[in-house]
Amino acid sequence: MTRIALEDGLVLTGIPFGSPRDAEGEVVFNTSMFGYQEILTDPSYAGQIVVMTTPEIGNVGVNADDEESSGPKAVGMVVRELCAPSNQRSTESLHDYLLRTGVSGVSEIDTRKLVRHLRTVGVRRGIVSSESVSDAALVERARAVPSMEGRDLATEMSTKEAYEWTAPMRAPHGMAPEVPAPKSDLHVVAYDYGLKLAMLEELRRIGCRVTVVPAAFPAERTLALKPDGVLLTNGPGDPAAVVGAAEAVRDLLGKVPILGICMGHQILALAAGAKTYKMKFGHRGANQPVMDVASKRIDITSQNHGFAVDGDSLPDGVRVSHTNLNDGTVEGIEIPGARAFSVQHHPEASPGPQEARSVFRKFRAAMER
């Protein structure tokens, strides 16, 4: 048997799957009904144990086309029921995949109870373990897990050297052979805070050549690459703790069009002089309603974040462009004087609805101007 123990004393018992090693991290929940492989391989989940709210997980198996990075970045997975794969695209079961990549899982957990608890008290540090020790001992180990606040995971996930991204394009959902990229007539420098491959592919689809650079890449070196625009990507951890990131972006403001996504949105806000804060349980799922303040258009979006921009801290010249209809949090900002804008949600989805992809077209229009 395997247990998941939280720092506040909650302990639940289930059946192990995947790797037998222990997992320690922040316990969060995701409400997506699909896309568990993309979730596991999203670097934004580094240092986290993901609880899936959908009761049955594993029925589509795993395949090489749905990886969003070099492999799982989440440290653990909690599900109600683990299913055997029954999908034509599957090349490996979820259990075998996690066993091979060293990620521990636990099934037969009352995920409804666990998620209701996390919604009430907020996300908690926790541990998944099969070790034969007391519940109290596991709870004490959970309390020793590092907090996400003040933790610079983005630098750990980031590339160490700049490189031009030339990987073959994948077809959406992997249902067709390799998709040829359109002719690239614009150059985008992407700051890697823990990026997803789908984000780079969306840039390629709108006709961009992409150079990926480290999280704290100096502004003068970025400008020396002569970009038409700069993308600030997603990533894990505390945005205010990412060493050198806000400073680099601050030096780019007004010199080149900038698009920020997820953590990139938060770092753009920090660079402009605003503040960020840790949310109670964050937004993680593919069903978050976001409203464009100007047009009143509502998109259902994919999200994955535990920190948010403090709207009251936004300085003059920075305006809120999008809000979350569930809780009113800031979902996007614009800095017209600096040709910069950002969104908290993931317009590239993977997994999730694709109706927010217009963000990339807006970015291209800004670069063309």
Asked if residue 98 and residue 236 are part of one domain, the reply reads no
Within a domain: 101: yes
Within a domain: 362: yes
- Last residue of one domain, picked from the residues 123, 143, 163: 143
Q: Comparing C-alpha atoms, which of 354, 263, 341, 259 is closest to residue 302? A: 354
Asked if residue 247 and residue 189 are part of one domain, the reply reads yes
- Last residue of one domain, picked from the residues 113, 143, 173: 143
Asked if residue 210 and residue 137 are part of one domain, the reply reads no
Asked if residue 241 and residue 343 are part of one domain, the reply reads yes
- Last residue of one domain, picked from the residues 125, 143, 161: 143
At 296-305, the pLDDT tens digits run 999 999 999 9
Asked if residue 116 and residue 36 are part of one domain, the reply reads yes
What is the mean predicted confidence (pLDDT) over 250-267?
98
Asked if residue 126 and residue 162 are part of one domain, the reply reads no
| Site of tokens 């897990």 | 145
Residues taking part in catalysis: 262, 346, 348
Question: Is the pLDDT score of 165 beyond 60?
Answer: yes
What is the mean predicted confidence (pLDDT) over 97-102?
98
| Site of tokens 């002089």 | 273
Find the domain containing 46 and state its range: 2-143
Asked if residue 169 and residue 41 are part of one domain, the reply reads no
Asked if residue 313 and residue 282 are part of one domain, the reply reads yes
Kindly state the DSSP code that residue 265 receives in the 8-state scheme: H
Within a domain: 87: yes
**What are the tokens at 96?**
């075998």
Within a domain: 148: no
Asked if residue 319 and residue 177 are part of one domain, the reply reads yes
**Chain-centre distance for alpha carbon 336:** 26
Q: Comparing C-alpha atoms, which of 51, 23, 48 is closest to residue 36? A: 51
- Predicted TM-score (pTM) of the model is 0.94
Q: What's 11's domain CATH number?
A: 3.50.30.20
User: Of 85-89, 191-195, 226-230, 350-354, which range is least confident?
Assistant: 350-354
DSSP letters spanning 291-313: EETTT--EEEEEEEEEEEE-GGG
- Would you place residue 184 in the very low, low, confident or very high pLDDT band (cuts 50, 70, 90)? confident
Asked if residue 89 and residue 11 are part of one domain, the reply reads yes
Asked if residue 198 and residue 134 are part of one domain, the reply reads no
Asked if residue 187 and residue 67 are part of one domain, the reply reads no
Please state, in angstroms and rounded to a whole number, the distance separating the CA atoms of residues 15 and 82.
Answer: 10
Within a domain: 37: yes
Please state, in angstroms and rounded to a whole number, the distance separating the CA atoms of residues 359 and 342.
Answer: 9
What is the mean predicted confidence (pLDDT) over 321-329?
97
At 11-42, the pLDDT tens digits run 999 999 999 999 999 999 999 999 999 999 99
Are 105 and 98 spatial neighbours (Cβ–Cβ below 8 Å)? yes
Q: What's 269's domain CATH number?
A: 3.40.50.880
Question: Is the pLDDT score of 335 beyond 90?
Answer: yes
What is the mean predicted confidence (pLDDT) over 283-302?
96
Kindly provide the residue ranges of all beta strands, DSSP E only, lying in the chain, ordered along the sequence. 2-6, 11-18, 23-30, 48-52, 56-57, 76-78, 81-82, 104-107, 124-129, 163-165, 186-191, 208-213, 229-232, 258-261, 276-292, 298-309, 319-324, 330-335, 340-343
Domains: count for the chain: 2
Within a domain: 299: yes
Within a domain: 240: yes
The dihedral of CA 174, 50, 72, 248: what is its sign? positive
The whole-number pLDDT of residue 172 equals: 58
The whole-number pLDDT of residue 175 equals: 45
Within a domain: 284: yes
How confident is the prediction for the chain on average, in pLDDT?
95
